[in-house]
Amino acid sequence: MRRYESVWVVQGDLPDEDVQSTIDKFSRIISSHGGTLVGLDDWGRRKLAYKIKGTTRGYYILADFAGTSATVKELERNYRIDDRIIRYHTVKKSDKVNLEALQAEIAARAQAAAPPAAAPPPPAEAAPSPEALPAAPSSEDAASEEKTPTTAKEE
């Protein structure tokens, strides 16, 4: 098992249901092809640096997962099939995965996401930001990867 992160960009002018359905679809593909989803990070709609297929905005979603080459292959095959996806990018974060540490990280993320999700109705927006701090001490590169999307979101 290797640790990967994958970013995909949904066309920005599509409604939120379409975005949510891509999240569901690709999360399912990861978990049904020998992968374990560690966390999702929703960057929201952002302006693209250049036009893609005539659109200037895109909805960015980052999935952090552990899996094998088959997981990534299947995921990327489906990215190419789906018309709503305008860009995707998958990066290997590390070659080895410690399964116990992975479970602990998933639990920590779930715990961090749970309290805000229980109180206010929109959990999708509330989830990524509060988990950034508690998840950080678990591993070193988790700290650096958590930092960047939140700063990018402010832009």
Partner 1 sequence: MPVMPRRKRKQFYVRRKVCRFCVDQALSIDYKDANTLRQFVTERGKIIPRRISGNCARHQRRVTRAIKQARLLALMPYVPMMPPP
Piece of 20-28, 68-76, 87-95, 126-134 that binds partner 1 (CB under 8 A): 87-95
State in angstroms the smallest separation of the CB of 51 from partner 1: 9
Smallest Cα–Cα separation from 75: which of 12, 28, 133, 17? 28
Residue 70 or residue 89: which is nearer to partner 1 going by CB? 89
Applying CB under 8 A, does 58 fall inside the site for partner 1? Answer: yes
**Position 111 contacts partner 1 (CB under 8 A):** no
Spell out the alpha helix ranges (H) of 15-98.
16-32, 69-81
In the sheet with 55-67, reading across from the earlier edge strand, the strands are 36-52, 55-67, 2-11, 85-94
Instruction: At 113, give phi and psi (nearest 5°).
Output: -80, -25
Q: Which is nearer to partner 1, 39 or 149 (CB)?
A: 149
Torsion of CA 133, 134, 139, 140, to 10 degrees: 20
**Encoded amino acid at 10, one letter:** V
Pick from 61, 62, 72, 127: which binds partner 1 (CB under 8 A)? 62
Told to check if 52 binds partner 1 by CB under 8 A, we report: yes
Give the CA dihedral 129, 17, 119, 60, nearest 10 degrees.
0
Per CB under 8 A, the list member of 64, 74, 105, 145 interacting with partner 1 is: 145
Min CB(9)–partner 1 separation in Å: 7
Interface with partner 1 by CB under 8 A: which residues? 7, 9, 46, 48-50, 52, 58, 60, 62, 87, 89, 91, 144-145, 147-149, 151-152, 155
